[in-house]
Amino acid sequence: MGDYDMIKMLYAGDSGIVLGPIAFETPFIMEIKDAFLREWGHYLINALKNNQNISITYIPSIQAYRSFPKNYDELKQYDIIMLSDLSAEVLMFFPEFFPLEQLRETSILSSTDFVGMPNRLKLIKRFVEEGGGFIMAGGWFSFSGRFGNGAWYRTPIAEILPVHISEVDDRVETPDGAFVKAIDTDHPIMRNIDWSTCPPFLGYNKVKVKKNAKLLAIIGEDEDPFIVVGRYGQGKVMAFTSDPVLHWGINFVKWKYYSMFWTQVLEWFVEK
């Protein structure tokens, strides 16, 4: 391990509501028999749980709207923020409305003529500018996402990422499998891993590498960016363009190097 203490990561996303059997009373009326929350983030959390130097605070997608930190001091408790399969609107819209006087006291207002709310995307940008780490991992609501509904383009997060985000549906679905090729095996994130054994992914988000960013791995027949790292301000950033868990990563979570890879990712972020 490098020159650092406990690595603290805030991980949000990678969950969804799964519907049970559906009964049709008529062609126009249906009844959903059951629904439950599925938290796919446990694959990553369990892979790292035995490392006593890593602490992960997990917020499922459905809870992130209300539970994701609402001020900068809360964010500063962490070394790394990871968002995966979580749309921009979940964090962009603020879950509370403050009384006008409270907003003035906390300097949220720049004018006494209107009521504004904290912008959590700008808080994340500041977090990175001042030395924090940030990871965006792929999925149907990452980057641009399904039908563009991830909608991270033209946000403060798009500014800090090491890749350019499309404004249209950027998914590349590969049910037959998209294979990974390592480009820089000497990078601390990539080293000591046999990337020739990396299992195929069932899809990924198509992005373009920004100038001065570093491409570590590519994916698919078109050799699209897969792992890209860079710097923004005093902090480090990473784009991982497929699912770190299910569904695109259903094979990846079973890989013998899965835990080692994510451990090296987090260690790289906090290395001096």
What does DSSP say about strands 208-209 and 163-164: parallel, antiparallel, or unpaired? Answer: antiparallel
The CA distance from 242 to 123, in Å, is 25
**Contact yes or no for 121/157 (Cβ under 8 A):** yes
DSSP reduced 3-state for 36? strand
In Å, how far from its chain's centre is CA 218?
Answer: 18
Query: What pLDDT score was predicted for residue 190?
Result: 98
Query: What pLDDT score was predicted for residue 51?
Result: 96
- pTM for this structure? 0.88
Average pLDDT over every residue of 151-179: 98
pLDDT reading at 105 higher than 70? no
Q: How confident is the model at residue 32 (pLDDT cuts 50, 70, 90)?
A: very low
The answer regarding whether domain 8-23+35-270 maps to CATH 3.40.50.880 reads yes
Give the count of beta carbons closer than 10 Å to the beta carbon of residue 14: 31
Token output for 106: 């906390």
In 75-170, at which residue ranges do the beta strands (DSSP E only) sit? 80-84, 133-137, 163-164
pLDDT reading at 45 higher than 80? yes
> Nearest 5°: phi and psi at 149?
-75, -10
pLDDT reading at 249 higher than 50? yes
Which range is least confidently modeled, 14-18, 88-92, 132-136, 212-216? 14-18
Name, in order, each residue with C-beta under 8 angstroms of 53's C-beta and a sequence gap of 6 or more.
Answer: 1, 5, 6, 7
DSSP reduced 3-state for 6? coil
Q: How confident is the model at residue 94 (pLDDT cuts 50, 70, 90)?
A: confident
pLDDT reading at 23 higher than 70? no
Q: How confident is the model at residue 2 (pLDDT cuts 50, 70, 90)?
A: very low
pLDDT reading at 128 higher than 80? yes
Structural domain boundaries in the chain: 8-23+35-270
